[in-house]
Amino acid sequence: MQVSVETTQGLERRLTITVPAAAISAEVEKELRTIAKTRRIDGFRPGKAPVAMIKKMFGLPVLQDVASRQMQNHFYQAIIQNKLTPAGAPTFAPKQLAEGKDLEFVATFEVYPEVQLNNLDKVEVSKPVVEITEADLNTMIDTLRKQHATWDKTKAAIAKGHRVNMDFTGSIDGVEFEGGKAAGFTLEIGQGRMIPGFEDGIIGKKSGEEFTIDVTFPEDYHAENLKGKAAQFAIKINGVEKQKLPEVNEEFAALFGLAEPTVDALRAEVKKNMERELSNNIKAKVKDQVVKGLLANHDVDVPQALIDSEVDVLRRQALQRFGNNLDAKNLPELPASLFAEQAKDRVKVGLLLGEVIKANNLQVDDARVQALIETVASAYEDPQEVVQYYNSNKELLQGMRNVALEEQAIDLVLEKAKVTEQKAKFDEIMNPQASN
């Protein structure tokens, strides 16, 4: 086998490989003999057809099949011999394929880039330091109370927090518009579900009242024919309800399946869950800053084959999200351009963290893997059952090992990065949009 290696552009490599004719011919002859023994040919007993006839009938497809296998085999021999690491599947192009002649072909592929880690000390990370206060815990308990609230009819004027049942008809210049009419519509005041001005026009009204309000659709409204239009809504209030929150007592605590349904046990369990979610959010925020810092301080050539592969992953994930409500089979093919930039960054980060792991000879910390599994399991009713399930499932366990190794790489970057601690409130970390 003769091999020549050529760098075409960037990470692309081109191998020109020559396989001696004798190697090809020997395999072709072997296959033709097998066909002659096993294939039934009209006019001849099995195994008695002339070799010349077999060769005429099957020679070309057998040659092509043998050449395909030989190209695969010799390609892998060549990359091992030349210490090349393909980043994707090669494309093969035979330059010469003829009986009795050497097989000459070209294999084109991309290799992984050489990644140089530098400027890790320029990665800047602001790590939130958060203390869960009694006020935070009380707010969370109130959230649980609202989730288990009941509703009582009231004759009071409509206010924020009330639930209203109504009929309404929308019109523009006296003409009803599509989608602007509803009967028995229920709305909880204060959640901002309606267009600006709608809830304001209802507040202060009472059950049984009929009235008309004036509103203006936002300029960025999703319906083109309604953008920026002034409209009127004729409204009839069918009923008003006020929320009744349950008392925080043993009866309330029993709703959450606690072994000991007491208020203290409930507060302890809620705080434990808050601490777990807070830890996850802080970890995610720190990782995001590390990733952005690595990307900002490293210029890495990225094989297109890896980008294409990551685009496919992102596309499938997007289709799965759509598929929750729609038949994914009927969805249009999402263009690669939607995911290209994100895919490129994800590949870059993978290459950089991979180099951190390689350069520092990081090995998976089994204790960390078990800690991750236990954290996931703690959210379930029977944590030990979940732990056992993860440990008995090779795919899930390997996924956790990958997560643990990535976390170890992130931690190593953090050791060299500029990390500052910044005090923050629980809500700022858990609900950043609400706190802005």
Mean pLDDT, range 6-31, rounded to an integer: 88
pLDDT confidence of 24, banded at 50, 70, 90?
confident
| pLDDT tens-digit series, residues 268-313 | 999 999 999 999 999 999 999 999 999 999 999 999 999 999 999 9
User: What share of the chain has pLDDT > 90, as a percent?
Assistant: 71
pLDDT for the residue numbered 26: 87
What's the length of the chain?
436
pLDDT for the residue numbered 329: 56
Dihedral (CA of 392, 394, 398, 400) sign = negative
pLDDT for the residue numbered 98: 78
Nearest residue to 107 via CA among 96, 88, 93 = 93
The DSSP annotation for 355-399 comes to HHHHHTT----HHHHHHHHHHHHTTSSSHHHHHHHHHH-HHHHHH
Identify the three-state secondary structure at position 232: strand
pLDDT for the residue numbered 380: 87
Nearest residue to 19 via CA among 31, 8, 28, 30 = 28
Mean pLDDT, range 374-403, rounded to an integer: 93
| pLDDT tens-digit series, residues 148-171 | 999 999 999 999 999 999 999 999
The DSSP annotation for 274-319 comes to HHHHHHHHHHHHHHHHHHHHHHHH------HHHHHHHHHHHHHHHH
- pTM for the structure as a whole: 0.74
pLDDT confidence of 316, banded at 50, 70, 90?
confident
Q: How far apart are CA 11 and CA 227, in angstroms?
A: 50
| pLDDT tens-digit series, residues 187-211 | 999 998 999 999 999 999 999 999 9
| pLDDT tens-digit series, residues 68-107 | 888 999 999 999 999 999 998 999 998 877 778 888 899 9
pLDDT confidence of 34, banded at 50, 70, 90?
confident
328 pLDDT above the threshold of 60: no
Structure tokens at 114: 């050489």
Exposed/middle/buried for residue 128 (C-beta within 10 Å: 0-12, 13-18, 19+):
middle
In this structure, are residues 199 and 161 in contact, taking their beta carbons and an 8 Å threshold?
A: no
45 pLDDT above the threshold of 70: no
pLDDT confidence of 48, banded at 50, 70, 90?
low
40 pLDDT above the threshold of 70: no
324 pLDDT above the threshold of 60: no
pLDDT for the residue numbered 320: 77
In this structure, are residues 138 and 116 in contact, taking their beta carbons and an 8 Å threshold?
A: no
Mean pLDDT, range 55-80, rounded to an integer: 85
47 pLDDT above the threshold of 70: no
| pLDDT tens-digit series, residues 105-139 | 999 999 999 999 988 999 999 999 999 999 999 99
Residue with more model confidence, 428 or 323? 428
Structure tokens at 282: 């802080």
pLDDT confidence of 55, banded at 50, 70, 90?
confident
The DSSP annotation for 176-219 comes to EEEEEEEEEEEEETTS--SPTTHHHHHTT--TT-EEEEEEE--T
Helices (H) and strands (E) in the chain, counts: 13, 11
